[in-house]
Amino acid sequence: MISYDKNKKKLSFSKMHGLGNDFMVVDCINQNFLLSSCIIKKLSNRNTGIGFDQLLIVEKSNHPSFDFNYRIFNANGSEVEQCGNGARCIGLFLLLKGLTNKKKIFLSTQKNSLIIEFLSNDMIQVNMNKPDFELKNFTLLKNFSHKNFSIELFQEKLMCSLVSIGNPHCIIKVQTIKNAPVNILGKNIEKNILFPQGINVGFMEIINRKNIKLRVYERDVGETYSCGSGACAAVAVGIAQNLLSNTVKVTLLGGQLIITWKGFGHCLYMTGPAKHIYDGYIYL
């Protein structure tokens, strides 16, 4: 018989994923836990821990306009502002755990807010707010717009576009994502001096005005199977530059998302699935 240290606390969690972007999801409404970056790093390890791209936490909201507070931590323990795939998983988690029976959920985040709506056929839509092409506080660059700018890398100029979807993204248009140097360029751009807080890097292949393919190197994580905010960022850049239609299918390594944006002054919407894998607990 296995015995456990009575001084250790039992933490219940769910493992979930959005198109292969996987999460450990924790209810901090009915559990009182403060997870340090050291513990998060251990839990995220895929060989000796639970393994995940991000840890998602749901808390009570202190504001009457919101149903819950939603927090996101990368595998290295750093807290980040946004995670689109995570938002869909948080919505499904809240329903599965009986924390809400609403079909429309209002969430507060570290620096913004989200509206999650449950559609038919198990699809979940997230209002990701208005894309921000100014990237205030995210970059040292000045006076740039939604148009392309060049960044010097390996003694060559690389054309990029910047946008924030609650978190910062650098979008690079490529001929084909299959051979794109995602890890080499992603790693170097992510930690570039121009981006003091780091940046997510997306590699977009435009198939036609209604379809793109995308690979994303996520800040503090590396390349993932899917990145919801990255899909939103790529489509926002494409629409702002009049390269894409107002509704676009984004094909990522882990599956497809539908992104809709009517243009400047309007909120952007992301639609896709979320999956519950299993429930578990661990002693900390």
CATH number at residue 202: 3.10.310.10
State which H helix or E strand residue 187 sits in: helix 182-190
Whether residue 185 sits in one domain with residue 160: yes
- Could you say which of 38, 227, 232, 267 is catalytic? 227
State which H helix or E strand residue 3 sits in: none
Residue 251 lies in a domain: yes
Whether residue 122 sits in one domain with residue 154: no
List, as residue ranges, the binding site for substrate: 21, 54, 74, 84-85, 167, 200, 218-219, 228-229
Query: Active-site residue 160, yes or no?
Result: no
Residue 256 lies in a domain: yes
Whether residue 153 sits in one domain with residue 117: no
34/279 Cα distance (integer angstroms): 20
List, as residue ranges, the binding site: 21, 54, 74, 84-85, 167, 200, 218-219, 228-229
pLDDT at 81: 87
Query: Active-site residue 170, yes or no?
Result: no
User: Can you tell me whether residue 39 is helix, strand or coil?
Assistant: helix
Whether residue 82 sits in one domain with residue 153: no
pLDDT at 2: 45
Helix-then-strand count for the chain, H and E: 4, 18
Residues 6 or more apart in contact with residue 197 via CB below 8 angstroms: 137, 138, 168
pLDDT at 56: 97
Whether residue 158 sits in one domain with residue 174: yes
270/155 Cα distance (integer angstroms): 37
Residue 200 lies in a domain: yes
- Are 111 and 166 in contact by the 8 Å Cβ rule? The answer is yes
Q: Which amino acid belongs to residue 44?
A: S
Whether residue 37 sits in one domain with residue 56: yes
Residue 121 lies in a domain: yes
Q: Which amino acid belongs to residue 40?
A: I
User: Can you tell me whether residue 213 is helix, strand or coil?
Assistant: strand
State which H helix or E strand residue 232 sits in: helix 228-240
User: Can you tell me whether residue 137 is helix, strand or coil?
Assistant: coil
pLDDT mean values, one per 10 residues, the chain (284 residues):
63 96 96 88 95 96 93 93 94 96 93 90 94 79 67 80 92 95 93 88 98 96 94 97 97 98 97 97 91
- Are 18 and 272 in contact by the 8 Å Cβ rule? The answer is yes
Give how many domains the chain has, as a whole number: 2
Residue 223 lies in a domain: yes
Whether residue 67 sits in one domain with residue 164: no
**β-bridge partners, 203:** 172, 215
Give me the domain span that covers residue 60: 10-129+273-283
Whether residue 123 sits in one domain with residue 62: yes
**β-bridge partners, 272:** 124
Whether residue 115 sits in one domain with residue 173: no
Whether residue 279 sits in one domain with residue 233: no
pLDDT at 1: 43
- Could you say which of 28, 83, 89, 160 is catalytic? 83
pLDDT at 201: 97
Residue 175 lies in a domain: yes
Whether residue 234 sits in one domain with residue 168: yes
Residue 141 lies in a domain: no
Whether residue 16 sits in one domain with residue 124: yes
Q: What is the pTM of this model?
A: 0.91
Residue 63 lies in a domain: yes
pLDDT at 6: 59
Tokens describing residue 129: 């707010």
